[in-house]
Structure 1
């Protein structure tokens, strides 16, 4: 809920405008975003900063500093691809995957991130390994019960029983990660949820981690929601994958589906977002961050790496840093500027294909906006309009505007590119910052200071 305050800004006449770095020639405007600085509320959670896999199997690289600087809040893994083609519990390869999970959890805990423990990866259902048996085959649930109880026992021994662990019982059960019927999957979820909750009171269950978005016209989703409600196994956090998608629109659709069934949950998570390629570039990454902030959804970047290839599944934080060398790329800087945001989340009205996240901090006397474009956006100039600029941001009738570009490149980027650093006259409490968005894969940050 936004909190509105009255504007207390007097607007003196500007005597001087100092342009440090000239902006590019203006292009025809194709989109507009508007920031209302009188409407704000809520401190940063950095909830969109997360990834699936992305570190080495021993949890040592990329460096902890690179992770801490972007304030990662969600890490998700299950040991996928380790020991393939015959890896995972179902192939007698449980220990190697569990050892990885302990290292991954230690890394998550050391940086304050929640850890999503992915059962399907531990089992061996990772899309690469052979899966000779699936839980419940032939109506026999003995092996699955033994499997879940072993994870529970090992999690207890490792101290992995707190609210920072999310029990994600299967990945993408509507496609090849689950090789049986939906009814067999649902029975597995019922049994697994009951086992975990009985052994670990307060355990945070996450699911279904569906490969696609929630929709009232989707029969799989309707069957799932009806079943978990009827069997009292509703997860604490409902999750899905946007590859592609729009988290804000998808969360709104889910809300209606839950409301019609009287289902309450504690949160939502888009625990894989951003398809490899165009979507895992700075501009679309910043757009996804903005959409996740809009729906108050947690987010984890998808990871399309394969063991033995570049990038690897166990590298790059989900394509934020360079493979092997582990140096920041343009998209890492998007998350760094997101992590730099402080103060109060501020209302921004999205454009037709551009969106952003804005915070204002009266103590630090600054406001940072992180702006992105969805794949397929129109190319050209985008206007960022600020209204209701508070008096503490204004000096001598003007405000300093730093515009930075996070470039689209799969190579090392030492810092964002300074596009302009200039003073703009505040008129009626408002300014307009034009951005010549010549590459839709780029993202921008705009920092206002007195």
Structure 2
């Protein structure tokens, strides 16, 4: 629950707005916190309280970030929420700038909240820069927490993905990087707001009804990445991959996206299949590759590969092509079936669906390795 939005500081507040603790008087802020948090807690629902959105941007907080008044506002809200809802989770500071982009701002804030005893339960930040990599930002946040003597805390990227990068390929890139980052949770920035029920722009109106887009399918295939994360090459160039294996679902799933509009050949090599007998059925696995073009609407991903493949060597390589600059991909490995492919022409390497020939993938120029 974003406390500052309910207060009215949503970027459209009038110039004569009375801010919390103006002229050193926090009584209006205390009264607001008491009535608002008290009512929400009485609902019986569970809330996390995000005190102030992007105080380092003047549209939301005109009194200056990390100023005396800002810290009066923060400390007062923290203590009142703790008093009224001692078990509720408090998150913040929800800065727009990451520690990589403004390290001094973060050092000042961490030093104060540690000394004041107002450290939140979860560190929230926004990854809306071009491009704020969740892996490197999480590393910077953890480093800043350690340097401040606070230690590790759960991380929340409660806004990510800039307004001009809302494509299937970039969505898949963020998903792949978040899976590798250690963030506890993340929420897409809502740039198609605020009264249209379009799931932050991942649905579109078509023919009088809501239909999924390429962004929706990237998120949907990511939801199949269950079980246990496996080691990957992380990012090659600007192309990122994350993957998991799930023995109960009998599948391995990889999500692939690019942050910089790459087009051309790519490949994924799956190693260690010999250690997964539940996946390699009679020495073979079934591979399905979803190409997710950046289209709206998009009724379903394009299946560009659907074939049984020999895994007798414990390793297979799957080639595919970024046809357009905003493509995303999902690769599914399941136990080989008696139907749905087989090994044409006695080939025991990867077979390109429809070509009926073995494929040499050694020439691909964008390789992503899973171990």
Indicate whether the TM-score tops 0.5.
Answer: yes
Distance 1:425 1:385 in 2: 13
Q: Deviations over 1:386-427 (max 9, x none)?
A: 100122222343321100111102x22221111111222325
Q: Deviations over 1:64-118 (max 9, x none)?
A: xxxxxxxxxxxxxxxxxxxxxxxxxxxxxxxxxxxxxxxxxxxxxxxxxxxxx00
Going from structure 1 to structure 2, the CA distance change for 1:265 and 1:122 (only over 3 Å counts) comes to farther
CA displacement at 1:235 relative to structure 2: 0.7
Structure 1 residue 405 corresponds to structure 2 residue 288: no
Gaps of 5+ in 2: 336-371
Going from structure 1 to structure 2, the CA distance change for 1:255 and 1:143 (only over 3 Å counts) comes to same
3-state SS of the aligned residue for 1:220? helix
Going from structure 1 to structure 2, the CA distance change for 1:360 and 1:352 (only over 3 Å counts) comes to same
Distance 1:151 1:391 in 2: 55
Q: For residue 310 of structure 2, what is the aligned residue in structure 1?
A: 425
Q: For residue 332 of structure 1, what is the aligned residue in structure 2?
A: 216
Using the TM superposition, name which of 323-332 and 411-420 deviates more.
323-332
Distance 1:200 1:153 in 2: 8
Going from structure 1 to structure 2, the CA distance change for 1:295 and 1:185 (only over 3 Å counts) comes to same
Q: Under a length normalisation based on structure 1, what TM-score does the superposition of the two structures give?
A: 0.69
- Decide which of 122, 131, 151 is 1:237's aligned counterpart: 122
Q: For residue 227 of structure 1, what is the aligned residue in structure 2?
A: 112
Q: For residue 179 of structure 1, what is the aligned residue in structure 2?
A: 62
Distance 2:264 2:306 in 1: 20
Structure 1 residue 263 corresponds to structure 2 residue 150: yes
Distance 1:404 1:378 in 2: 17
CA displacement at 1:200 relative to structure 2: 1.3
Q: Deviations over 1:227-280 (max 9, x none)?
A: 111101011111111113111100101111111121135410110001123x22
3-state SS of the aligned residue for 2:93? strand
Contact in 2 for aligned 1:216/1:253 (Cα 8 Å) = no
Structure 1 residue 440 corresponds to structure 2 residue 294: no
Distance 2:27 2:219 in 1: 44
- Aligned residue pair count: 323
Alignment of structure 1 residues 158-173 onto 2, 5 Å: 158-160=43-45, 162=46, 165-173=47-55
Structure 1 residue 287 corresponds to structure 2 residue 173: yes
Q: What's the RMSD between the two structures over aligned residues?
A: 1.8
Q: Deviations over 1:193-234 (max 9, x none)?
A: 011011211221100111121238522111111111110101
3-state SS of the aligned residue for 2:105? helix
Going from structure 1 to structure 2, the CA distance change for 1:282 and 1:394 (only over 3 Å counts) comes to same
Distance 2:101 2:14 in 1: 34
Q: For residue 8 of structure 2, what is the aligned residue in structure 1?
A: 124
- Decide which of 58, 67, 74 is 1:189's aligned counterpart: 74
Structure 1 residue 359 corresponds to structure 2 residue 250: no
3-state SS of the aligned residue for 1:384? strand
Q: For residue 253 of structure 1, what is the aligned residue in structure 2?
A: 140
Going from structure 1 to structure 2, the CA distance change for 1:406 and 1:241 (only over 3 Å counts) comes to same
- Decide which of 276, 287, 293 is 2:163's aligned counterpart: 276
Contact in 2 for aligned 1:330/1:413 (Cα 8 Å) = yes
Gaps of 5+ in 1: 1-116, 307-311
Structure 1 residue 373 corresponds to structure 2 residue 258: yes
Structure 1 residue 315 corresponds to structure 2 residue 197: yes
Q: Under a length normalisation based on structure 2, what TM-score does the superposition of the two structures give?
A: 0.83
Ranges of 4+ aligned residues in structure 1 off by more than 4 Å: none
CA displacement at 1:321 relative to structure 2: 0.8
Distance 1:169 1:250 in 2: 21
Distance 1:243 1:149 in 2: 32
Taking CA–CA contacts closer than 8 Å with sequence separation of 6 or more, which of the two structures ends up with the larger relative contact order?
A: 1
3-state SS of the aligned residue for 2:203? coil
Going from structure 1 to structure 2, the CA distance change for 1:401 and 1:242 (only over 3 Å counts) comes to same
Contact in 1 for aligned 2:55/2:64 (Cα 8 Å) = no
Structure 1 residue 305 corresponds to structure 2 residue 192: yes
3-state SS of the aligned residue for 1:196? helix
Distance 2:209 2:128 in 1: 27
